[in-house]
A = this chain, B = another copy of it.
């Protein structure tokens, strides 16, 4: 079985919006090993849309459309399907009643224009929409299947989970694919490639996807059975050791949250160039109030001295962006908040403020812990938001290594 996707809507042909609905459909297809051969975006024009549908279905067994099911004149997906395949339409009064009820529940009267959403094809399977007014539908044309979903993302998500995945699962029983994502810190994309060499050699022909995103590298593996993923995982763990920090939906901040919560330990932060991003990332995790006590954002030397108790002599002798000041920030905030760990960050996010000895992108991070203090000097390239993100990523990873006892001293 092969599949194609068409996203309908002129707004996705502008320079701003991309179609992301197709990613949800693709994920469902992929989990049953069904290849997507093409996807396209077409505007709200009857002839273009009908032509696109005719062309797309020629090459596949399964065609999925999203969008163009609304009540207004420029919602033409139904009409284009009718034209493309010469299908007959009728009105389903039970759909009219459902939509009327939705409006009535809010104390409104259904506008007449919404009656269009009750136009159905003879023989279609209507997909009731609990999240909105536009029903979806599934029609069969000979040995080909066409599924049509509304374009509103949370309505489409719900329909995929409620109707489409169960249908795929029935049709492709036993063919489901499992995905496992491995998250690596402290290596570049090519560094990961290099380390994977023996793995590639051992598993020629197996697909391995490597993605670099936000200061970490992801390795994506897929397999028909969980046992073989488990076996692959042991090899990946062997190759990457403590650099492998998480799986699937894990983030650096969620992994650290789990570690701290399970150990009953706490952390506080003292940030200069990251301006609060470190604390913000830690508190993106639900339940973080159990282990994150707070911190100081000290964008000036005075704030470092006053809020965190950094010795003014350290700043005078080494400058605000220096190893001793990063360490003093980590130790000072740990003491102030009486936490198990304290993190300090100081650096030059740029694009101005660099010097020959301390260029833009120079960042010092430190983690103070019951067993001492660890420090790393970093040098980043890129805009300030990148410098900030990567610095917090490294600081969190240093904390993780300290917690699990995998820090090199």
A279 to B295, CA, bound (A): 12
Whether B296 lies near A294 (C-beta < 8 A) is yes
Q: What CA separation (Å) do A23 and B12 show in the bound complex?
A: 9
Among listed A43-51, A197-205, A233-241, interface-contacting one: A43-51
Q: Given that A38-B41, A38-B52, A52-B38 are contacting pairs, would A294 and B298 also be in contact in the complex, using a CB cutoff of 8 Å? A: yes
Q: What separation, in Å, do the CA atoms of A302 and B266 have in the docked complex?
A: 15
The contact of A307 among B37, B41, B296, by CB within 8 Å, is: B296
Chain B residues with CB under 8 Å of A209's CB are: 11, 14, 16
Q: How far is the CB of A339 from chain B (nearest CB, A)?
A: 10
> Complex formed: what's the CA distance from A16 to B210 in Å?
11
Most chain B beta-carbon contacts within 10 A, residue among A24, A26, A30, A299? A299
What sequence of 0s and 1s flags, for each residue 372-399 of chain A, a beta carbon within 8 Å of any chain B beta carbon? 0000000000001100100000000000
Question: Which residue on B lies nearest to A38, using beta carbons?
Answer: B42
- Give A297 Cβ to nearest chain B Cβ, in Å: 4
Q: How far is the CB of A306 from chain B (nearest CB, A)?
A: 8
Copies in the complex: 2
Task: Name the CB-closest residue of B to A20.
Answer: B18
Given known contacts A59-B48, A211-B16, A277-B276, A40 and B43 CB-to-CB distance under 8 angstroms: no
Chain B residues within 8 Å of A206, by CB: none
A296 touches B297 (CB 8 A): yes
A55 within 8 A of B: yes
Once the chains are docked, how many angstroms separate the CA of A293 from the CA of B209? 44
A286 part of interface (Cβ distance < 8 Å) = yes
A275 cross-chain contacts in B, Cβ below 8 A = 276, 279-280, 282-284, 288, 292
Question: For A16, A52, A337, A385, which residue has the most chain B Cβ atoms within 10 angstroms?
Answer: A16
Shortest distance from the beta carbon of A368 to any chain B beta carbon, whole Å: 17
Beta-carbon contact of B284 and A274 below 8 Å? no
B388:A284 contact, CB within 8 angstroms: yes
B30 touches A15 (CB 8 A): yes
A219-274 interface with B by 8 A CB criterion: 220, 269, 271, 273-274
Q: How far is the CA of A126 from the CA of B65 in the complex (A)?
A: 38
A23 to chain B, nearest CB (A): 5
A354 in the interface (beta carbon within 8 A): no
Whether A300 is near chain B, meaning CB under 8 Å from some CB there, is yes
CB distance from A189 to the nearest CB of B (A): 13
Tell me the complex Cα distance, A38–B42, Å.
5
User: A353 — nearest CB in chain B belongs to which residue?
Assistant: B289
**0/1 interface trace, chain A 99-137, chain B, CB 8 Å (1 if under):** 000000000000000000000000000000000000000
Given contacts A18-B23, A40-B40, 18 further A-B contacts (CB under 8 A): A11-B209, A37-B42, A38-B42, A38-B52, A39-B41, A51-B59, A274-B283, A275-B276, A275-B279, A275-B288, A275-B292, A276-B279, A276-B280, A283-B349, A289-B299, A289-B300, A294-B303, A295-B297
A-B contact pairs, 13 of them (CB 8 A): A13-B39, A14-B30, A15-B23, A15-B27, A18-B20, A18-B23, A55-B55, A275-B276, A279-B297, A284-B388, A286-B350, A293-B300, A306-B336
